[in-house]
Structure 1
C-alpha cells in the first residue's frame, strides 16, 4: 500500500509537469518541480532560484507566482508537498526581491485569507507522512511568527545575514515602547523555534534537515538582534525613562529569554554566548537598581502583605518577586 501511494505520487508529479510543459507554463513547471511528492528529497536549488526569479519582473508576474505557490500549499493534502511549499515561502522571505516579499506578506497582513493557516493539517498516508504532518503544522506557525516579527521590526529578519552589520543605528531612533515590542517579538520567535517537533524517523530526513538549516540561520540573526536591543537598554540609560509597567514587561521578556537558553546554544558560539548572557545579567542588575522598580516593588509587597488572609496559600518567594508574576504581553501582533 505504501509503495502504491509513492508510485501514485510520482505519477501525479510527472503528469502535472508534462501538462505544464505542453502548455508552456514555465512558472507552473518550476513550482511543480520544486514541490514534488518525494518525502525525502528537498527542493533543488535551481528550482528555488527559478521561483525567486519571478520577482525580477513586474508586480503582476510576482503576484502570479506567489498565488500559484499559495494555492498549491492550500490545496495539497500531501505533507511532502506542503513542506516544500513552506520551504519556498521561507526562501522568498530570506532571499526574494522586495516585490516578491511584498506580494507574499500582503495576504496575512490585510486580514484576508491566511494561506499559512495549517494548524489542522493531517496526512495519514503512512507513518512518515503522519510524522511530517507535525512538521507542516509547526513550520507554518513558525513562518507566520517570522513574518509578524519582520513587520514589527520593519525589515525581513532573513535578509540580515550573520556577516551583515545589525540594526544598531536604526535602534537608536526607536522609542522605548517600540523597543519593548521588538524585544517581545524576537523572544517569541526564539520560543517558537524551541517548539519544533521531536519525531524519530524524521531526524535524518533531508527535507527536515533543510528546514532546520533555514530556521537556525534565522536563529543566528534573532540572537544578534536581541543582543543589540539588550545593549541599547544597558548603554543608553533608557531604563530611567521607563514606567513601572514597562519595567515589569521588560523583566518578563528577559525571563522568557532565559527559558530559551538551551535552544539558543545551538546557534551561538561559546564566546558569543558568554557575551550575550553577561549583557542580559547586566541589564537585570540595572533594572533592580532603578528607582521606580525599587519603590513600586516596595509598595507592591506591602499592599500584598496587608491584603493577605489566612486562606491565602501563596508562597512568600512568589509574593516577593515581581519578576515571577506572569503579565501577559499584548504587544505581539
Structure 2
C-alpha cells in the first residue's frame, strides 16, 4: 500500500511538472522540482539554486514565488512536501536575495494569515510520515521564531555573511548603543529561539532520513550564529551590571536561568559561554540581593518613623486647646 502511494505521488509530481513546463511557468516548475513527494530525499542543491535564482528578478516575480510557496505549504497533506517547503523557506532566509527575503518577511508580520502555523499538521499515511509530521510541526514553529527573532534584531539571523549589510557587520558596536530595555528584548527573543531548538523531536528516531539530516544541518548552522549573538549580549550585560535597575537585573537573572535550563538539550556550546553566563548571573543576583535588603531597611526605617510619630501624637502629655488643635 505504501509503495502504491509513492508511485501515485511520483506520477502526480511528473504530471504537475509537465504542466508547468508546457505553460512556461518557471516559478511553479522550480518549486515543484524542489518539493516532490519523495519522503526520504532532500531537495537537491541544483534545484534549490535554480529556485533561489528567481529572487534575482523583479519584486513582483519574488512575490509570486513566495505566494506559490506558502500556498503549497498550506494546502499539502504530505509530510515530505511540507518539510521541503519549510527547507525552501529556511534557504531563502539564509541564502536568498534581499528582495526574496523582504517578501518572505511580510509573512505573518502584516497581521494577515500565519502561513507557518502548522500545529495541527498530521500525515498518518504511514509510520514514517506520522513521525515526519512531528518534524513538520516543530520545524514550522522554529522557522516562525527565527523570522520573529530576525525582525527584533534587524537582520536575518544565520544568513550568508556575503549578504549581510553594514549594520550586521558592526553588531557589537550597535549593541553598545542599545538601551537596557532593548538589549533585554533582543536577548529574550534569542532565548526563545534557543528554547525552540531544544524542543525539536529526537533525530535518532529518523536515523538515515535525508530530510531530517538536511534540517539538522541548517539548524546547526543557525546555532553557531545564535550562540554568538547570545554571547555578545551577555558580555554587554556584564559591563552594564552597575547601571541596571532592580527590575532589569531581575529580568536578566530570569533570562540567564532560562538559558541554563536548556543546557542539557543544547548542541555543543563552548564552556566559555557557560562560564560567562554563570558569572553574570551571580553578579546580577548579588545586585538584586543588595537592592532587596536596601528596600527592606528603608521600609523598616519608615515603619519605625511612623511608630515614633504615632507615639508622640498619642501621648497623654500633649495639650489640647479649645480649638481642638494639638500643641
Give the match's secondary structure for 1:188: helix
Of 257, 260, 284, the match for 1:258:
260
Distance of 2:221 and 2:241 partners within structure 1: 31
Quick one: structure 1 residues 214 and 134, their matched pair in 2 at CA, closer, same or farther if it must change by over 3 Å?
same
Give the match's secondary structure for 1:229: helix
* Corresponding residue number in structure 2 for 1:108: 108
* Corresponding residue number in structure 2 for 1:321: none
Distance of 1:160 and 1:42 partners within structure 2: 20
Quick one: structure 1 residues 225 and 300, their matched pair in 2 at CA, closer, same or farther if it must change by over 3 Å?
farther
Deviations 1:131-178 (A, max 9, x none): 1011000000000100000011111102165xx967211111111101
Distance of 1:122 and 1:200 partners within structure 2: 20
Q: How does 1:74-89 map to 2 (within 5 A)?
A: 74-89=74-89
* Corresponding residue number in structure 1 for 2:319: none
Quick one: structure 1 residues 299 and 58, their matched pair in 2 at CA, closer, same or farther if it must change by over 3 Å?
same
Quick one: structure 1 residues 267 and 100, their matched pair in 2 at CA, closer, same or farther if it must change by over 3 Å?
farther
Quick one: structure 1 residues 282 and 294, their matched pair in 2 at CA, closer, same or farther if it must change by over 3 Å?
same
Contact 1:48 1:88 in 2 (8 A): yes
**TM superposition outliers: structure 1 runs of 4+ over 6 Å:** 300-303
- Give the length in aligned residue pairs: 295
The alpha-carbon deviation at position 200 of structure 1 amounts to 5.0
* Corresponding residue number in structure 2 for 1:58: 58
Give the match's secondary structure for 2:201: coil
Instruction: State yes or no: 1:286 paired with 2:283.
Output: yes
TM-score (norm 2): 0.85
The alpha-carbon deviation at position 98 of structure 1 amounts to 1.3
Distance of 2:223 and 2:68 partners within structure 1: 29
* Corresponding residue number in structure 2 for 1:129: 129
Over the aligned positions, Cα root-mean-square deviation in angstroms equals: 2.2
Instruction: State yes or no: 1:177 paired with 2:181.
Output: yes
Q: How does 1:1-333 map to 2 (within 5 A)?
A: 1-159=1-159, 167-198=171-202, 200-235=204-239, 238-264=240-266, 266-268=267-269, 273-290=270-287, 293-296=289-292, 299=295
Distance of 2:273 and 2:76 partners within structure 1: 42
Distance of 2:131 and 2:286 partners within structure 1: 49
TM-score (norm 1): 0.84
Distance of 1:246 and 1:140 partners within structure 2: 32
User: Computing the radius of gyration over CA atoms, which structure comes out larger, 1 or 2?
Assistant: 2
Quick one: structure 1 residues 183 and 283, their matched pair in 2 at CA, closer, same or farther if it must change by over 3 Å?
same
The alpha-carbon deviation at position 285 of structure 1 amounts to 2.8
The alpha-carbon deviation at position 240 of structure 1 amounts to 2.5
The alpha-carbon deviation at position 84 of structure 1 amounts to 0.1
Distance of 1:182 and 1:249 partners within structure 2: 13
Contact 1:166 1:228 in 2 (8 A): no
In structure 2, the gaps of 5 or more residues are: 162-167, 300-327
